[in-house]
Each structure stands twice: as C-alpha cells, then as structure tokens.
C-alpha cells in the first residue's frame, strides 16, 4: 500500500512540475530571463568592441612595424574570446528558456523562439573556428557575416517578435528586447 501511495504522489509531483505556467507567470519569468541575457550579451559586445577599438588605435598610434599583422592578431584573438563568452551566456539563456513550460496559447511561438536561439547557439563554434583561422581583417569579418550564427540572428529576431506579440495578444505584457539599442555605459 505504501509503495502504491508513493507512486501516486510521485506521479502527481511529476505532473505538477511539467504543467504549463499561467500566462502571467510565463510572461514574468520570460521577461526576467530575457533581460538577464540581453544585459549580459550587450555588456560582452560593448567590452569586445571597446577592446578592439582601443587595441587597434594603440597599435596604429605606436607606428610599429607589422602594425597590420598585430591588428589582425588582436581582432582575431578578441573575437574568438568574445564568441566563447557569448556562447557561454547564450547557453545559460537557452537552458532557462527550455526549462519554461509555456501556456498552450503561446507554446508554438515559444518553441519556434527556443529553436531559433538553439540554432544560433549551435553555430557559434564554427564561426569561432573560422575566425581563429583568419589571416586578415576581411577574413575575420567574412567569417562572422557568412556564418550560420549571423544567419540565425534574423530568425532569432523574427521569432522573438512573434513570441512577444503572442504573449501580448493574451493580455500580458512582456519585454524580450527583440530589437536592441546600445547599452548605457
């Protein structure tokens, strides 16, 4: 009898853990998760851009021989490091998104968004490897713009907007910051 009761309790707990959230709970959690990721990713981007700009400026101002090669090495190294940190942040974001149990009314949009984030995330290692092998600034730029990661950004934005609209149609507010402005520094 105790075993049967334990199985029933376990099944009840498991069913409760996997049940969909209310739209209010979902929109609140989704907004918080998105804000955390957006702030982190924008700060990483800002730090990366500042580091590259400052580093290249210092190389140019030094007037050293081999400035071009030094600049390429700096940009390549900083870009690989940036992509690694972005991948880490995006991986945590993806895990948190996947852990949500969206209400049925927004489940298709949620799943499309998670899929878009996953595709962009999974494309980062290839972009990082291509950048690591770049021998010129043009090669670095091409490695980024021609990557699956860059291609995934449009889908990410499109599915993000669709998810926001679906939640709003359910009468809740949500802030995913699908289209971002520059971070305040």
Query: Residue 6 has what pLDDT?
Result: 42
Closest CA to 162 of 87, 93, 102: 102
pLDDT in the model for residue 22:
96
Please tell me the predicted confidence (pLDDT) of residue 18: 54
Q: How far apart are CA 55 and CA 61, in angstroms?
A: 10
Contact between residue 148 and residue 165 where contact means Cβ atoms under 8 Å apart: no
Q: Per-residue pLDDT tens for 9-66?
A: 444 444 444 578 999 999 999 999 999 999 999 999 999 999 999 999 998 888 888 8
Q: Do 156 and 116 meet the contact criterion of CB atoms below 8 Å apart?
A: yes
Residue 152 pLDDT: 87
pLDDT digits (tens, 9 = 90+) for 96-146: 999 999 999 999 999 999 999 999 999 999 999 999 999 999 999 998 888
Model pLDDT, residue 36: 97
102 in Cβ contact with 24 (< 8 Å) = no
Do 185 and 45 contact (CB within 8 A), yes or no?
A: no
- H and E: helices and strands count for the chain: 6, 0
0.85 surpassed by pTM: no
- Domains of the chain (ranges; CATH) run 23-169 (1.20.120)
Is residue 55 within 8 Å of residue 78, measured between CB atoms? Answer: yes
> What is the rounded CA–CA span in Å between residue 6 and residue 12?
10
Mean pLDDT of 141-159: 89
How far, rounded to the nearest angstrom, does the alpha carbon of residue 89 sit from its chain's CA centroid?
Answer: 7
Q: What is the pLDDT confidence band of residue 181, given thresholds at 50, 70 and 90? A: low
Beta-carbon contacts of residue 6 (< 8 Å; ≥ 6 apart): none
């Amino acid at each position: 009898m105790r075993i049967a009761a334990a199985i029933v309790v376990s099944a009840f707990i498991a069913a409760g853990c996997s049940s969909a959230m209310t739209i209010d709970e979902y929109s609140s959690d989704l907004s918080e998760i998105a804000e955390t990721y957006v702030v982190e990713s924008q700060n990483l981007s800002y730090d990366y851009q500042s580091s590259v700009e400052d580093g290249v400026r210092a190389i140019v101002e030094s007037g050293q021989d081999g400035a071009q090669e030094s600049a390429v090495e700096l940009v390549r190294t900083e870009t690989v490091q940036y992509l690694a940190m972005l991948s880490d942040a995006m991986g945590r974001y993806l895990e948190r998104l996947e852990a949500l149990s969206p209400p049925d009314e927004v489940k298709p949009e949620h799943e499309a968004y998670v899929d878009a984030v996953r595709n962009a995330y999974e494309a980062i290692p290839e972009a990082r490897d291509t950048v690591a092998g770049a021998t010129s600034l043009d090669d670095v730029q091409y490695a980024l713009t021609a990557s699956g990661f860059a291609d995934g950004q449009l889908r990410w934005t499109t599915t993000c907007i669709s998810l926001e609209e679906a939640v709003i149609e359910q009468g809740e507010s949500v802030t995913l910051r699908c289209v971002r402005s520059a971070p305040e520094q």
